């Protein structure tokens, strides 16, 4: 694989009139073509969905038209961004070019760009926006739950808010770490100049953005009542807003599968000389483990949603009991994707924590191989546990001991991660910079999440907890406490490298402490509410539980305020103050910190040669173990 034939970045002609610059393949064209495609699909849908489909014409709901409209809209959007140009030029026999649109300037952030660092920044901002949209939904949900009777949110809208919050977070945040940080840092860490498939890399981002807008557009079509799980046959009954969910998740699935494929391709084929598998930074390993899950699990989701879309439009009966289908089929297919999905969310968190802790403890990563096997073990095991979501459903009841065992076994490789963290902390020289604070909080949060998971994996105790707030608290501890804390650790750790600017330390500390305390204050009482028998996804509950619910709601608002502090810090530090960051503020030995800021388009003038892993910290002792002990030679 040649890395030297890089097209020189074409300088942007300055002084062209604005109208001339607006012509061409850019975001404006993309939006226009997207809207055009939407109405084209809508028109075709109404054309073909004629009187032969009696179910559809009896009402103003036309699922065929909306599904086609979304599909054509997305295709138009991607063509407008220029994703068709390269395939067409190849079809016309033009020579292959390696990369495109790698100009300087802010414009490259608003279009197809094949520079993995630009895509990383695009992901960071794009996902951040949708993360806050999802968070605002949660604020509305908690505001409604201040009182045990329905107050200001209508019951239909309440379920739509719950669904949008869950779907947005589960869909968008799957790429929450892989999108910004893996795209940005994996090529740097393995000594590559680009990703294996740079255009696909950009495609995954723009697919995700299109998906996000489609999901929020559900409120124009009546919302959807199913939550993020989209269980059939409720899915089949729902109004057109359900189609937004289906298209959203299908696009996310495609984006995830492509992202995973790209990461696997890059990590397998594009490592620099000397970057052996046993020297791979642990973050890259976690990305690799996640990528395996993405490639294997996401297509299942897309197929399931296609079946659901067929059930909704042309009255197939994959999931309808009366027609030979089964509601169990959807549950099985969905969770066969859905359980790996939650590890897709958790694994990058593991990677970030293990990558950062050695830097702040000034020690090598303790138990590197154990950590790798832990992550690969979680990755593999996560395909064998999905039926624990169906413990009380009555399907395969005799197999429950197996799923109980497999679910509990998955805590063994997860335990490896804890051991590695604890081993690295042993006799460490810890400094408590903000990224380290988030890492330490992760240990506590994921511990609570993991232990509550054991209670849920046990059928007798799960009987009382399934479908209750306990489950909700559990997965918020693992996903928010695991992934989002890792996500913020990564932001505070790496953004100074990505932007060359430093965050305000005091605001960052306020953000951390408020977030950590409010997070625990929000979700610990939810365990109690679940144990007291409060089901999930309800807007009314027993009046006796109002006190705890109010406590949770107020804590949730404080959690929201901590996020506002973060936004304020971003605006204040990165836009107004713009204090340049030190070249290597954390004294990290990882290669990305040895590169100049900003990192040049091609990353390395010469491809680096590695002769150790990046955890070369610490005073060698005569205790057993010990790595190569030689300094890493960074390229550049």
Partner 1 sequence: MSLFAKKLLGVSVATALLGALIGLYVAAWATSQPPTISASTAPASSGGNRLTLMTVAAIGPKYSPTHPDWVSYLVRQNGKWIHSTNFSVPAESVIHVTIDQYDSPTGLRNAFLSQVQGTIGGTMSVDGKTVTSIPPEETSHTWVVPQLGIFIPLPGVPEEAKNACEFAPCEGAAHRTVEFSFYSGKKGRYRWQCFVPCAAGFWNGLGGPMQTVGYMDGFLNVV
Partner 2 sequence: MSSSQAARPGEVPPEPNHTFRFAVLWLVTTVIALPLVIFLIGPLIGPGNGSAQSSGQGTDFTVLAVLATPVLTLVVFYLLYAVVFFRQPQGGTLEGPAVRGHARVQTTWIIITSLMVLAVAVFGTARLEADNGSGSGSGPNPLTVPSGPKLPVQVIAQQWLFTYRYPTYGGVETTELVLPNNQMVEVHVTSLDVVHSFWAYKLGVKADANPGVDNVAFVKPTKLESFTVRCAELCGVWHGYMYNTGRVVTPAAFATWIHEQQTRLAPATKVLPKYSTTYLPEPKKRAEPE
Q: Min. distance of Cβ 235 from partner 1 in angstroms?
A: 9
Close Cβ partners of 138 (under 8 Å, ≥ 6 residues apart): 165, 556, 560
> Which of 430, 507, 558, 581 touches partner 2 by CB under 8 A?
430
By C-alpha distance, which of 109, 292, 118 is closest to 194?
Answer: 118
Given partner 2, partner 1, none, residue 121, with its beta carbon under 5 to 8 Å by kind, binds none
| Among 59-67, 244-252, 256-264, 448-456, the segment contacting partner 1 (CB under 8 A) | 59-67
Is residue 12 at the binding interface for partner 1, with CB under 8 A as the rule?
Answer: no
- Assign 317 to helix, strand or coil: coil
Given partner 1, partner 2, none, residue 396, with its beta carbon under 5 to 8 Å by kind, binds partner 2
> Which of 26, 167, 361, 590 touches partner 2 by CB under 8 A?
361
Is residue 157 at the binding interface for partner 1, with CB under 8 A as the rule?
Answer: yes
- Binding-residue pattern over the window 216 to 235 for partner 1, x denoting contact by CB under 8 A: ---x--x--x-------x--
Q: Could you give the CA distance from residue 327 to residue 475 in angstroms, rounded to a whole number?
A: 24
Given partner 2, partner 1, none, residue 222, with its beta carbon under 5 to 8 Å by kind, binds partner 1
- Binding-residue pattern over the window 190 to 219 for partner 1, x denoting contact by CB under 8 A: -----------------------------x
Q: Min. distance of Cβ 452 from partner 2 in angstroms?
A: 9
Is residue 93 at the binding interface for partner 2, with CB under 8 A as the rule?
Answer: no
Number of residues located near partner 2, criterion CB under 8 A: 108
- Give the angle 504-508-514 at the CA atoms, nearest 5°: 150
- Assign 13 to helix, strand or coil: coil
Between 155-172 and 198-216, two packed helices, what is the crossing angle to 10 degrees?
Answer: 170
Number of residues located near partner 1, criterion CB under 8 A: 33
Decide whether 138 or 195 has the Cβ nearer to partner 2.
138
Given partner 2, partner 1, none, residue 411, with its beta carbon under 5 to 8 Å by kind, binds partner 2
Given partner 2, partner 1, none, residue 152, with its beta carbon under 5 to 8 Å by kind, binds partner 1
Is residue 563 at the binding interface for partner 2, with CB under 8 A as the rule?
Answer: no
Q: Could you give the CA distance from residue 435 to residue 471 in angstroms, rounded to a whole number?
A: 28
Sign, CA dihedral 340-345-347-350, equals: negative
- State phi, psi for 562 to the nearest 5 degrees: -60, -35
CB neighbours of residue 295 within 10 Å: 18
DSSP string, 213-249: HHHHGGGGGT--SSTTTT-TTHHHHS-THHHHHHHHH
- Binding-residue pattern over the window 503 to 542 for partner 2, x denoting contact by CB under 8 A: ----------------------------x-x-xxxxxxxx
Q: Could you give the CA distance from residue 165 to residue 560 in angstroms, rounded to a whole number?
A: 14
Decide whether 87 or 154 has the Cβ nearer to partner 2.
154
Q: Min. distance of Cβ 430 from partner 2 in angstroms?
A: 5
Given partner 1, partner 2, none, residue 581, with its beta carbon under 5 to 8 Å by kind, binds none
230-246 core/surface letters (b: 16 or more CB in 10 A; e: else): bebbbbbebbbbbbbbb
The answer to whether the beta carbons of residues 588 and 613 sit under 8 Å apart is no
The answer to whether the beta carbons of residues 323 and 299 sit under 8 Å apart is no
The answer to whether the beta carbons of residues 410 and 381 sit under 8 Å apart is yes
Q: Min. distance of Cβ 324 from partner 2 in angstroms?
A: 10
Q: Min. distance of Cβ 569 from partner 2 in angstroms?
A: 24
Q: Min. distance of Cβ 238 from partner 1 in angstroms?
A: 6
The answer to whether the beta carbons of residues 620 and 626 sit under 8 Å apart is yes
- Assign 251 to helix, strand or coil: helix
Is residue 55 at the binding interface for partner 1, with CB under 8 A as the rule?
Answer: yes
Close Cβ partners of 462 (under 8 Å, ≥ 6 residues apart): 388, 391, 392, 455, 456
- 554 token code pair: 């107020």
Close Cβ partners of 322 (under 8 Å, ≥ 6 residues apart): none
- Binding-residue pattern over the window 371 to 410 for partner 2, x denoting contact by CB under 8 A: -------------------xxxxxxxxx-xx--xx--xx-
| Among 14-22, 514-522, 554-562, 623-631, the segment contacting partner 2 (CB under 8 A) | 623-631
Residues 280-339, interacting with partner 2 (CB under 8 A) = 320-322, 326-328, 331
By C-alpha distance, which of 110, 146, 148, 90 is closest to 24?
Answer: 110
| Among 101-109, 112-120, 289-297, 619-627, the segment contacting partner 2 (CB under 8 A) | 619-627
Given partner 1, partner 2, none, residue 585, with its beta carbon under 5 to 8 Å by kind, binds none
Is residue 467 at the binding interface for partner 2, with CB under 8 A as the rule?
Answer: yes
Decide whether 7 or 399 has the Cβ nearer to partner 2.
399
Given partner 2, partner 1, none, residue 412, with its beta carbon under 5 to 8 Å by kind, binds partner 2
Given partner 1, partner 2, none, residue 571, with its beta carbon under 5 to 8 Å by kind, binds partner 1
The answer to whether the beta carbons of residues 31 and 210 sit under 8 Å apart is no
Decide: residue 429, CB within 10 A, 0-12 exposed, 13-18 middle, 19+ buried.
exposed
Q: Could you give the CA distance from residue 603 to residue 83 in angstroms, rounded to a whole number?
A: 24
| Among 13-21, 53-61, 508-516, 522-530, the segment contacting partner 1 (CB under 8 A) | 53-61
Query: Which stretches of the chain bind partner 1, using CB under 8 A?
Result: 55-61, 106, 136, 140, 149-150, 152-158, 161, 219, 222, 225, 233, 236-239, 320, 571, 575-576, 578
């Amino acid at each position: 694989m040649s890395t030297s034939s890089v097209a020189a970045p074409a300088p942007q002609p300055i002084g062209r009139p604005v109208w001339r610059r607006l012509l061409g393949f850019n975001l404006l064209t993309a939006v226009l073509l997207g809207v055009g495609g939407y109405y084209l699909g809508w028109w075709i849908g109404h054309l073909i969905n004629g009187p032969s489909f009696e179910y559809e014409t009896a009402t103003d709901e036309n699922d065929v038209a909306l599904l086609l409209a979304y599909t054509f809209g997305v295709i138009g959007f991607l063509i407008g961004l220029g994703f068709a140009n390269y395939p067409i030029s190849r079809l016309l026999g033009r020579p292959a070019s390696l990369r495109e649109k790698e100009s300087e300037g802010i414009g490259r952030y608003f279009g197809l760009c094949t520079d993995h660092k630009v895509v990383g920044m695009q992901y960071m901002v794009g996902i951040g926006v949708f993360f806050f949209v999802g968070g605002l939904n949660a604020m509305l949900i908690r505001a409604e739950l201040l009182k045990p009777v329905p107050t200001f949110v209508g019951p239909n809208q309440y379920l739509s808010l719950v669904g949008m919050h869950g779907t947005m977070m589960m869909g968008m945040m799957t790429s929450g770490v892989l999108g910004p940080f893996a795209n940005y840092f994996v090529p740097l860490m393995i000594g590559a100049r680009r990703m294996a498939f740079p255009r696909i890399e950009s495609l995954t981002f723009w697919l995700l953005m299109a998906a996000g807008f489609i999901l929020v557009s559900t409120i124009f079509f009546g919302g959807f009542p199913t939550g993020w799980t989209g269980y059939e046959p409720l899915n089949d009954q729902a109004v057109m807003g359900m189609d937004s969910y289906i298209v959203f998740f299908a696009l996310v699935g495609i984006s995830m599968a492509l992202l995973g494929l790209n990461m696997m391709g890059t990590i397998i084929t594009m490592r620099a000389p000397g970057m052996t598998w046993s020297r791979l930074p642990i973050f890259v390993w976690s990305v690799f483990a996640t990528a395996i899950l993405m490639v294997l699990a996401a297509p299942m989701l897309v197929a399931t949603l296609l079946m659901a879309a067929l059930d909704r439009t042309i009255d197939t009966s994959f999931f309808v009991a009366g027609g030979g289908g089964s509601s169990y089929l959807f549950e099985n297919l969905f969770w066969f994707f859905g359980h790996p999905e939650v590890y897709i969310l958790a694994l990058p968190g593991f990677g970030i924590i293990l990558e950062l802790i050695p830097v702040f403890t000034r020690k090598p990563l303790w138990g590197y191989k154990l950590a790798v096997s832990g992550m690969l073990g979680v990755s593999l095991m996560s395909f064998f546990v999905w039926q624990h979501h169906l413990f009380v459903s009555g399907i395969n009841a005799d197999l429950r001991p197996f799923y109980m065992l497999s679910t509990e076994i998955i805590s063994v490789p997860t335990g490896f991660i804890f051991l590695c963290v604890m081993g690295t902390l042993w006799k460490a020289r810890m400094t408590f910079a903000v990224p380290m604070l988030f890492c330490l909080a992760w240990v506590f949060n994921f511990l609570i999440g993991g232990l509550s998971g054991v209670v849920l994996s046990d059928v007798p105790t799960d009987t009382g907890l399934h479908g209750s707030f306990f489950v909700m608290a559990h997965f918020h501890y693992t996903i928010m406490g695991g992934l989002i804390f890792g996500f913020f650790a990564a932001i505070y750790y790496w953004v100074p490298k990505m932007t060359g600017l430093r965050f305000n330390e005091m605001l960052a500390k306020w953000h951390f402490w408020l977030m950590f305390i409010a997070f625990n204050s929000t979700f610990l009482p939810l365990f109690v509410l679940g144990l007291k028998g409060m089901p999930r996804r309800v807007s009314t509950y027993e009046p006796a539980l109002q006190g705890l619910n109010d406590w949770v709601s107020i804590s949730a608002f404080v959690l929201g305020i901590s996020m506002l502090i973060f936004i304020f810090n971003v605006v204040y530090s990165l836009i107004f103050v713009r204090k340049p960051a030190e070249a290597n503020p954390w004294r990290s030995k990882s290669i990305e910190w040895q590169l100049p800021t900003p990192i040049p388009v091609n990353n390395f003038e010469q491809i680096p040669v590695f002769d150790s892993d990046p955890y070369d910290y610490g005073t060698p002792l005569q205790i057993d173990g010990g790595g190569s002990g030689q300094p890493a030679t960074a390229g550049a």
